[in-house]
Amino acid sequence: MSISSMTGFARAEGRKDTSSWTWEIKSVNAKGLDVRCRLPNGFESLEKPLRDRAAKRLKRGNVSAALNLRRQEGVAGVRVNHAVLEELLATLPEIRKRVADAREPSLDGLLALRGVVEPVEEDLNDEARKALEAEILNDLDTALNALGAMRDEEGARLAETLQARLDDIAGLCAEAEKLSVMQP
């Protein structure tokens, strides 16, 4: 039985046409496998394949996977997500009640919050989108394999350390047994 660590980090990058992306995957100790995903708007469909692929490669750990997607061309502009903005503004009276010296939020602060301002991109046709998602998932596999390899390497080092300790203990036990026959 081989030992595998649960801590590790991996990164994989890719590019197709006018899109580029980066996967960053981190894992830490946990009893079971808990996969958390951070995907860009419009790519939520990658969550299930991400979870399935992580479960095939990793057995345990708290795993955080983030996909950062950039489009060089084809951005038609930006839009304000009014629903998110209104929800944030609706929480302000409650925050003021709880925090006496709370400052008014600035416009740039509100607009900088994730989900308030979203890029409006030109839609890809189904074929182009499927091809892009396939490339992104290939790089996910690369990142998961790199993470698994890192965890396996650390596990092998841990196994060596544990075996050295067990060998030391066995040697000390043998020494103690030899000394015990000298006792009256």
Question: Would you list the domain boundaries of the chain?
Answer: 1-74+126-184, 75-121
pLDDT of 146 strictly over 70? yes
Pairing relation of β-strands 61-71 and 33-38?
parallel
pLDDT in tens, 40-89: 988 999 999 999 999 999 888 999 999 999 887 655 667 888 898 898 88
- Which residues 6+ apart lie within 8 Å of 146 measured at CB? 10, 11, 12
* Residue 18 pLDDT: 82
Q: What is the pTM of this model?
A: 0.65
- Which residues 6+ apart lie within 8 Å of 184 measured at CB? none
pLDDT in tens, 87-127: 888 888 888 888 888 788 888 888 888 888 887 666 678 88
User: CA of 64: how far to CAs of 54, 73, 89, 109, 165, in Å?
Assistant: 10, 29, 30, 26, 33
- The tokens for 68 are 């950062």
* Residue 48 pLDDT: 96
CATH of segment(s) 1-74+126-184: 3.30.230
pLDDT in tens, 2-37: 788 888 899 999 998 888 999 999 999 888 999 999
